[in-house]
Amino acid sequence: MSTLFALSVAVVLMIAGAIFEQALNVRFLKEDTVELNGKMEVVRNIIMAAHKFEDATDVPLRLNDIVFGHPGIIISVRTEDGVLFSAGDRNIANQLVNEKILPDSQPATRKYGKRVYRFISSHIQQGKRWAVAVIALDITDDQNFVAAFQKSLWIGMTLVSLVLGWLGWVVVRHGLTPLRKVSTMVAAISSQQLDKPLADTEVPVELHELVAAFNTMLAKLDDSFRRLSEFSSDIAHELRTPIHNLLIQTQVTLAGQDNLEAYRSVLQSNEEEYQRLSRMISDMLFLAKADNKKVSLKKEGVALEVEVGNLFDFYEALASEKGIALQLTGQARVYADRLMIQRALSNLLSNALRFTPQGMAIEVNISADDGWVNLAVSNPGPEIPPAFQERIFERLYRIDPSRREGHSDNVGLGLAITKSIVDMHEGQISVASKNERVIFLLRLPISLPDPH
């Protein structure tokens, strides 16, 4: 920032210096032009006053009067026969003879030796004879002044840029002191201190927004770490139970007598535990693939009422055992992955069966409106507090962490999987809870396959 500030100042000074130098040159040129044109007018009058160029014996004297006291002025008058009159430095006057006539009395600049001259010329007609008058003005001092000004300007710009660059560095360093304090505070944060937000009392108002944004990020990280820790604990518990059962049953069987029926019973029990472990691992792998966009959809026309009916048949025995009625109304078709939709609906029905009181009913309503298909799963049960309704679809999250009901879905993956499936289909899912009733609403777009 200091370097950029110094460079910006240097550029501004350079532009200002160039403008001032141009204005100075224009000023000198204007003054020289006025003086040269005035002298040329006098010379023309002197020459035109003579009857003949050769008879104007007083011309040299009068020309010398013009340059008297002005050593920088040189006058040369020539005809086709050569130099007629001259005044001032004769050597320069002889060289001016070779200069061409300039249009409109516009001055030109020439360097003769170490001196710089600005001159104008004029054509003088007298009868059939003509003469050319050239007046030169020594502007070496002016040029030296401009050169000295340029040198001083560059030196001044360099010094000013360096000084301002240093001052900019001091100001920037002082101004960034609060930011360095914030950096120090951030560097001191560890994974065990994510719940301690940064204090904004020691930082200027300009950094309050930054500190607030960082504290928001800390809160999200703390929540993620906390849920990850809870998930690790839950997974350890869920894995420990079937593995412990497998170990105990195997040890008891090996310690007993060789009994074929006992072995068969243990293997059947072990199969149930293996299936439980397999479901749990499959759910975690599915979510990992969904996060990395590695799940491909095989879309086809799906009649939702048919899929819900098939799931009703699957859960009929469990529902009858608990005295729960399954009710379906409405119908609609979507273009989706059949197996994915089955899994999402199965998770919703399984969740509803787990919390519906005995003797009550689960209602599934299907409808369509404005390009969307709505599928609502409604069941009586414990209300979900509004504070938890936004987070219930987060993976690894459970409203009551103490609930462990011996099923992989209870780890907090079922609703997260359902949301992932809905998101992959560009749909929406939400939950509402009131009057001791919970309603999960699943919305899918009615997208038709490409005819080509």
Each domain of the chain, given as residue ranges in start order, spans: 2-151, 205-291, 299-445
Compute CA 365 distance to the chain's CA centroid, rounded to the nearest angstrom.
46
- Using the 8-state DSSP alphabet, how is residue 397 labeled? -
Q: Please give the average per-residue pLDDT across 140-147, as a whole number.
A: 85
CA distances from 53 to 19, 66, 73, 95, 308 (A): 47, 18, 22, 21, 124
Q: For the sheet with 325-329, list strands across it.
A: 325-329, 361-369, 372-380, 437-445, 428-434
Q: Please give the average per-residue pLDDT across 129-149, as a whole number.
A: 83
pTM of the model: 0.49
**CATH numeric code, 2-151:** 3.30.450
CB atoms within 10 A of CB 391: 12
Name the band, by pLDDT with cuts 50, 70 and 90, for residue 375: very high
- Using the 8-state DSSP alphabet, how is residue 436 labeled? T
CB atoms within 10 A of CB 5: 17
What's the maximum distance between 2 C-alpha atoms anywhere in the chain?
Answer: 157
Is residue 409 over pLDDT 60?
no
Q: How far apart are CA 344 and CA 368, in angstroms?
A: 19
Higher pLDDT, 55 or 125: 125
The amino acid occupying position 77 is V
Q: Please give the average per-residue pLDDT across 72-99, as a whole number.
A: 74
Q: At a CB cut-off of 8 Å and minimum separation 6, what does 275 contact? A: none
Helix (H, G, I), strand (E, B) or coil at 159: helix
Helix axes 414-424, 260-291, angle to 10 degrees: 40
H-state helical runs in 256-356: 260-291, 304-321, 338-355
Name the band, by pLDDT with cuts 50, 70 and 90, for residue 363: very high
Q: How far apart are CA 35 and CA 265, in angstroms?
A: 125
**CATH numeric code, 205-291:** 1.10.287
Q: How far apart are CA 16 and CA 35, in angstroms?
A: 29
> What tokens does 219 get?
């809160």
* 108-122, 178-192, 406-420: least confident range: 406-420
| Inter-residue contact 382 to 450 (CB < 8 Å) | no
Name the band, by pLDDT with cuts 50, 70 and 90, for residue 58: low
Q: What is the mean pLDDT of the chain?
A: 79
Q: Please give the average per-residue pLDDT across 310-329, as a whole number.
A: 91
In this prediction, residue 452 carries a pLDDT of 44
Compute CA 6 distance to the chain's CA centroid, rounded to the nearest angstrom.
26
Instruction: Name the most confidently modeled range: 83-92, 157-166, 323-332.
Output: 323-332
CA distances from 124 to 41, 79, 131, 210 (A): 11, 10, 5, 81
What is the torsion angle, in degrees rounded to the nearest 10, for the CA atoms of residue 343, residue 344, residue 345 and residue 346? 40
**Strand pairing class (428-434; 361-369):** unpaired
| Inter-residue contact 10 to 93 (CB < 8 Å) | no
Instruction: Name the most confidently modeled range: 93-107, 204-218, 303-317, 377-391.
Output: 303-317
| Inter-residue contact 124 to 48 (CB < 8 Å) | yes
Tell me the CATH architecture of domain 299-445: 2-Layer Sandwich (3.30)
In this prediction, residue 15 carries a pLDDT of 86
Q: Which tens digit of pLDDT belongs to each residue from 193-252? A: 676 777 767 677 777 788 788 888 888 887 777 767 766 776 676 677 778 777 887 777
